[in-house]
Amino acid sequence: MRYELRRARKEAKLTQKQLAELVGIERSTYAHIESGRPPSFKVALAIAAALGGRVEDLFSPLVCSAPTKNHRQGMDGD
């Protein structure tokens, strides 16, 4: 996740401070998110909108963190 956020931010030619200001959060808060701390859904939506991307693309490990049916079956020994 952190690499995708950083890549998208750099492609948008924004600093962490500029993106944080667009989203309405502190730069240090954004830095924590870019380093891997999960944001609130509202902040994730705002970041995605500011970067012109989709939440699913920028935060896929968070959005898709629930195991799939096949993964659960493997865990249960089925």
pLDDT at 14 over 70: yes
Range of the domain at 12: 2-76
Burial class, 9, CB count within 10 angstroms (exposed 0-12 / middle 13-18 / buried 19+): buried
User: How many residues would you count in the chain?
Assistant: 78
77/10 Cα distance (integer angstroms): 44
pLDDT grade, residue 1 (50/70/90)?
low
CATH number at residue 69: 1.10.260.40
The overall average pLDDT reported for the chain is 81
- The predicted-structure confidence for 35-70, as pLDDT tens digits, reads as follows 989 899 999 999 999 999 999 889 875 443 344 454
**pTM, full prediction:** 0.74
Total structural domains within the chain = 1
